[in-house]
Amino acid sequence: MNQLTSYTNINDPLNQRILNNLEAGRPGGLKVDLYLGDQPTLDLTTNNLTLLSSQQYPYTALGTIGIRKLLDPPESSLVSQIVNRHAVLPSNSSADQLVLLDMQGQTEISQALRRDARHTQGSAHSHLLFDSTNQHVQWIRMHREQMLRAFEDIRQQGIVRRQAKEAWGHYDAVSRLDATTKEAVNTWLRGEDHSLGWDRFKRNDVKSGNRLSTHYTNLGGDLNTPQSITSARGEYAASKLLITVCGTDYQMKMGKSANGMRPNGIDQIWVKRDMRTGNVIEYLIVEAKGSVNATLGHPTNGQQMSPKWLFWCLINMANKNASYIGPETKTDLPVKILNALINPGGIPVRGIVFHSLHGSVNESKVVQMNDIGLYQFASAFENASKGGGLFTNAPTQQYIAFK
């Protein structure tokens, strides 16, 4: 397994050589437009916040989302709204998302984020078998081996032994339940036991919902300038789209920090987690832009979302640099991502940019998603380990790809 000689020192010689092997320029990617403008919205003003101040949720409608892939023929399709699995109240589980995406007013956005934080927590994800409240299903879950031995008795001897009668009593009760639950129990008994994997997935999904609530709270607490409002809009859209459009298995690992902390670096980090095993199967590096005029920055350590910039950010996170990581995020997260990046066949690390086109004349309610694709650092690590560097002698290496 490839390992860095230092995960915390950006000036470590190996890390410097890796930086010289990584591209610093503008990333490409596949762009997809999400059209959010055909749905009804609230006519809210600073003096008309009745609906926002009430318990009515979600305040504005999104409904279906129109999608156009820019590389495909200009044919639009509709994607149905995915249930919000982090809604506190079951009645809000199908609530439309992306509240006040088209708003600029500080008060409206602050109110929306405050209410959304209050209505977001935990996870409503449930498993037909593993989360069942039926006493007979619960007994079989807790006594799987005993149930399997009862099956084996029948197969070998054709009778139910005395010590197996309890198991058969529970199984008989389950057999009288609905066909879907019965089939779920039988499939689980005949196959692998993924209950521990599901428990791991659910435990992390609860953490993700709680992080989202904190994320919304922190976004609403930093709206003192037009720039901070623009930033909040972009980060809000990114997090909402990830739990709706992008699927039901992405979980937030890092969101907005409180009180303006962590001003630099990665906006959000998410993981895609296997619901059966509970294992992380993809890391997602997210950059959010909140207006049509916002662009990827290009500091001296590489343009935002470039491979060089990502490596720089992760090392500074592991080093507990307060400009890149908040106290709520553990430093083992960047270390895990770094190991995934420098090892062939490691967990995929994907980059994605969510760009709200707010402020444009015709597409103010459009969010553009740019899937940058997978980052690959294994070859950079191998070249650096041999003492080489692709861009060591480049005259303008930081800007060579976009000047």
Please tell me whether residues 237 and 294 are part of one structural domain: yes
Three-class DSSP labels, the chain? CCCCCCCCCCCCHHHHHHHHHCCCCCCCCEEEEEECCCCCCCCCECCECHHHHCCCCCCCCCCCEEEEECCCCCCCEEECCCCCCCECCHHHCCCCCCCCCCCCCHHHHHHHHHHHHHCECCCCCCCCCCCCCCHHHHHHHHCHHHHHHHHHHHHHHCCCCHHHHHHHHHHHHHHCCCHHHHHHHHHHHHCCCCHHHHHHHHHHHHHHHHHHHHHHHHHHCCCCCHHHHHHHHHHHHHHHHHCCCCCCCEEEEECCCHHHCCCCCCCEEEEEECCCCCCEEEEEEEEEECCCCCCCCCCCCCCCCCHHHHHHHHHHHHCCCCCCCCCCCCCHHHHHHHHHHHCCCCCCEEEEEEEECCCCCCCCCEEEEEEEEECCCHHHHHHHHCCCCCCCCCCCCCCCCCC
Please tell me whether residues 269 and 161 are part of one structural domain: no
User: Residue 140 above 80 pLDDT?
Assistant: yes
Lowest mean pLDDT, pick from 61-65, 215-219, 239-243, 287-291? 61-65
Rounded to whole angstroms, how far apart are CA atoms 13 and 19? 10
The pLDDT tens digits of the residues spanning 273-321 come to: 999 999 999 999 999 998 888 888 888 889 999 999 999 999 999 999 9
Please tell me whether residues 254 and 358 are part of one structural domain: yes
- Residue range(s) defining the domain that contains residue 30: 13-123+204-385
The pLDDT tens digits of the residues spanning 356-365 come to: 888 887 776 7
Q: Locate tokens 């609905």: which residue?
A: 178
User: Residue 194 above 80 pLDDT?
Assistant: yes
User: Residue 83 above 80 pLDDT?
Assistant: no
Cis peptide before 327 (omega within 30 of 0): no
**How many residues comprise the chain?**
403
The rounded Cα 377 to chain-centroid distance in angstroms is 22
Tokens of 286: 């997210």
Q: What angle do CA 205, 208, 214 make, to 5 degrees?
A: 150
Please tell me whether residues 19 and 140 are part of one structural domain: no
CB 212 within 8 A of CB 255: yes
- Asked if residue 396 is part of any domain, the answer here is no
The pLDDT tens digits of the residues spanning 196-206 come to: 999 999 999 99
Of the pLDDT bands very low, low, confident and very high (cuts 50, 70, 90), residue 263 is: confident
User: Residue 40 above 90 pLDDT?
Assistant: no
Of 193 and 37, the one with more pLDDT:
193
- Asked if residue 363 is part of any domain, the answer here is yes
Residue 403, pLDDT score: 38
| 65-69/30-35 β-pairing | antiparallel
User: Residue 400 above 50 pLDDT?
Assistant: no
Q: Tell me phi and psi for residue 270, to 5 degrees.
A: -125, 160
User: Residue 74 above 60 pLDDT?
Assistant: no
% the chain with pLDDT above 70: 79
Count of CB atoms situated within 10 Å of the CB of 240: 22
Please tell me whether residues 115 and 158 are part of one structural domain: no
Please tell me whether residues 214 and 179 are part of one structural domain: no
Please tell me whether residues 169 and 225 are part of one structural domain: no
User: Residue 75 above 60 pLDDT?
Assistant: no
Q: What is the mean pLDDT of residues 223-229?
A: 87
User: Residue 393 above 90 pLDDT?
Assistant: no
- Asked if residue 128 is part of any domain, the answer here is no
Rounded to whole angstroms, how far apart are CA atoms 230 and 115? 19
Lowest mean pLDDT, pick from 230-239, 338-347, 370-379? 230-239
Please tell me whether residues 257 and 290 are part of one structural domain: yes
Of the pLDDT bands very low, low, confident and very high (cuts 50, 70, 90), residue 229 is: confident
- Asked if residue 2 is part of any domain, the answer here is no
Of the pLDDT bands very low, low, confident and very high (cuts 50, 70, 90), residue 39 is: very low
Q: What angle do CA 248, 54, 99 make, to 5 degrees?
A: 40
Please tell me whether residues 170 and 91 are part of one structural domain: no
CA-closest candidate to residue 275, choices 82, 93, 129, 87:
129
- Asked if residue 76 is part of any domain, the answer here is yes
% the chain with pLDDT above 90: 51
Please tell me whether residues 156 and 26 are part of one structural domain: no
Query: CB under 8 Å to 185, separation ≥6 — which residues?
Result: 129, 137, 140, 171, 174
Residue 33, pLDDT score: 82
The pLDDT tens digits of the residues spanning 102-130 come to: 667 787 778 778 877 888 899 988 899 99
User: Residue 73 above 60 pLDDT?
Assistant: no
Tokens of 42: 């609230």
Of the pLDDT bands very low, low, confident and very high (cuts 50, 70, 90), residue 43 is: very low
Please tell me whether residues 210 and 117 are part of one structural domain: yes
Rounded to whole angstroms, how far apart are CA atoms 293 and 289? 9
- Asked if residue 400 is part of any domain, the answer here is no
Of the pLDDT bands very low, low, confident and very high (cuts 50, 70, 90), residue 91 is: low
- Asked if residue 391 is part of any domain, the answer here is no
Please tell me whether residues 162 and 21 are part of one structural domain: no
Q: What's the total number of domains in the chain?
A: 2
- Asked if residue 4 is part of any domain, the answer here is no
Average pLDDT, the chain: 82
Residue 26, pLDDT score: 72
CA distances from 156 to 150, 151, 161, 325, 387 (A): 10, 9, 11, 60, 66
The pLDDT tens digits of the residues spanning 237-262 come to: 899 888 877 777 899 999 999 988 88
